[in-house]
Amino acid sequence: MFYAIVVTLAWVIWHLVFAIKVVGRENLPKDGRGFVLAPNHISAIDPVFVVIARFWGRRMLVMAKEELMHVNPFITWFFNHVGVFGVERGKGDTATIDGVIQKVREGQGLLIFPEGTRSKTGEPGRLKSGAFVVASAAGADMVPCRIIYSRGQMKLFSRVRVCFGKPIPAAELDLGEVRSAAKLRQNKQLLLDAWEQLYQENKFQ
């Protein structure tokens, strides 16, 4: 209940400051299965846009860099109440990842930014492996998400489009027992292609 109140409050505040349009919300799973939601990453407040764009449903887990947990007091408060947890880059935390995989198997959604850091140009950067390893290990679909800002970068009073694409099926993301590097590259390309399609279909003119 409190989660719904927090998200609703953020939705109201964000819509006062930004002109937000959501595309493809129907592509988000509604059958209780876990999933991995994979957006591109431009701004420190991208997680807020994605969470309020989804708006309804069970609280997701949101994996973010530890530094994003301390952007400002409101963002910190919001993150602490909507399932965001910080991870320090460069420190392998297998226990945390194993716990996340188990929760996704049990039906919880995970929001993770595959680039692992914000793009300085607005163009997708090099993808890390984490999102794909979690999706494969959990047997979960991956939902591509493209965040598009009217000015290329996040600016106050920007127009923002949060676009959800058709899920990439779990069967296509399975890395197998040996986690083939070639298959991992293929999976990354699937997501990059989905992001590019979402951008071309929804970019600002």
User: Could you report the average pLDDT of every consecutive run of 10 residues in the chain (205 residues)?
Assistant: 69 77 92 92 86 74 77 77 71 75 93 90 90 95 96 78 96 88 95 98 93
- Segment 10-43, tens digit of pLDDT: 777 777 777 889 999 999 988 788 999 999 999 8
Give the pLDDT score at 76. 80
Q: What is the sign of the dihedral through the CA atoms of 93, 98, 99 and 101?
A: positive
Give the pLDDT score at 168. 98
- Segment 185-200, tens digit of pLDDT: 999 999 999 999 999 9
Give the pLDDT score at 39. 97
Give the pLDDT score at 103. 92
Find the distance separating the first CA and the last CA of the chain, reported in whole Å: 39
Give the pLDDT score at 55. 61
Q: Which domains does the chain have, with CATH numbers?
A: 2-202 (3.40.1130.10)
Give the pLDDT score at 2. 64
**Residue 109 β-bridge partners:** 35
Give the pLDDT score at 91. 60
Give the pLDDT score at 85. 75
Give the pLDDT score at 117. 87
Query: How many DSSP H helices and E strands does the chain contain?
Result: 7, 7
Q: Which long-range contacts (CB under 8 A, 24 or more apart) does 186-189 make?
A: 187/132, 187/136, 188/114, 188/127, 188/132
